[in-house]
Amino acid sequence: MFVRGEKLLFENGYGIMSIMSENIGYGYHTMSGADTSETDVIRARTPCAEKKRTLRTTNRRREKRKNAYTADRKHGENSCTAKTQGKEELMNNEFFSFELIKTDPDTGARAGILHTPHGDIETPVYMPVGTQATVKGVFPRDLKEAGSQIILANTYHLYMRPGDDIVKKAGGLHSFMNWDRPILTDSGGFQVFSLAKLNKITDAGVEFSSNIDGSKHFFTPEKAMEVEENLGADIIMAFDECSEYGFTHAQAREAMIRTGNWLERCFKHHEAQNRPWQALFPIVQGNLYKDLRAESLERCRPFVKHGIAVGGLSVGEPKPLMYEILDSLKEKFPTDVPRYLMGVGSPDCLIEGTLRGVDMFDCVLATRIARNGTALTSRGRVVVRNGRYKEDFTPLDEECDCYCCKHYTKAYLRHLVNVGEMYGAMLLSLHNITFLHKLMKGLRGAILGGYVRDYAKEFYGKYGGEGKW
């Protein structure tokens, strides 16, 4: 429930917040004092009818994309043709399109639907991270139950083990890991620069030593594309150079220019392969320098077909600086494709990013802190290993209906964590992922309902406890 003034809002069966009023069930419902323009009105069809209509539409789209996907993979390179011409051709094909349903006029927060070969994604969306082709400690069936629409896998780690050739032989990541919903793979660029024991960066690419066995490898933009093609994700990222927090303007500019040059090579390679079932996202770099970010965005613009990403943030800089960069880019972003903020996933960053027009997020936070015995709850972080929960036989979060909260207490979870039982990390991981999905669902409903600032304010007011973030 969400209370705004004297009006009580509820969430219907298809994720839209409506006003409970005397005339509920027919006509239209608007926020008190709001304009009744077309974009600010929520249709009040009966949930049952709307659900059936939406299901029919979704099924038709899914079947059409599935058939086209199968035909292209079976018959080769030239079986897919664009449906439209000009700009529309760039933004949509048989496999990908983006519907922007509503933009909040006050904040720029957006609600949309990204159509992909493996299903529709309602945005804004949080993507759990499955680094090694698995979200640590969570079964795929439970991810679906929690609300996961898309997951991320890591190109660098899968290239190292088991090898992208193995994944290709298995039929791609979807078959390999038994996940039939959308998948996104990063380019491996961040890991090459952060995990490799030694690396040498040139305009040609990056020479690095494996973090596993020290073996030598060389990644070029073309090589990164080949690996991602073998992995077979729906969305693939361009190979980029992530400059470190603290880089000088000159250092950051050099990395940004190189990223732009590599993008051109990635795009050229990807287009030559004629794989329309994989959407390539460019990455905006430029460190914390607004002029470099703006320049990078302009260099990306000709290569934006289905989405665009912002990289190199949330890597150690204070959060206000990250928000300043997003503020500087908000009005410059293309409006007809999703915007992806890479590596960001704490509740406050999800809210603040959404308020600045970001559509997609990913982060390992949910599962990483779970393995350390920490939960995200409606009242703030809870460190269940603490002694205060030894005899606390209440649920982890009274407002959560996930499997963990419905069946177990803080005392039991504390016990599992303190004795090192893996089940404790599994339960907390599932809860944390569910929590973030519910947050994003709530933000989406608030955007559609026209009260996203109020939603954020109420969330911040409640989210306290042992530590906010």
Catalytic residues: 186, 362
Residue 217: both structure tokens together: 């490898």
Give the three-class secondary structure for 157.
helix
Nearest to 266 by CA among 249, 278, 254, 277: 278
d(CA 336, CA 96): 12
Burial of 62: CB neighbours in 10 Å, binned 0-12, 13-18, 19+: middle
Q: What is the CA 462 to chain-centroid distance, rounded?
A: 24
Residue 461: both structure tokens together: 């007011």
Q: Are 347 and 452 in contact (CB under 8 A)?
A: no
d(CA 137, CA 276): 33
Q: What is the CA 27 to chain-centroid distance, rounded?
A: 34
Q: Where are the beta strands (DSSP E) in 39-135?
A: 42-43, 97-103, 110-116, 119-123, 125-128
Helices (H), 179-248: 189-194, 221-231
d(CA 396, CA 401): 10
Nearest to 437 by CA among 122, 129, 126, 179: 126
Task: Name beta bridge partners: 281.
Answer: 237
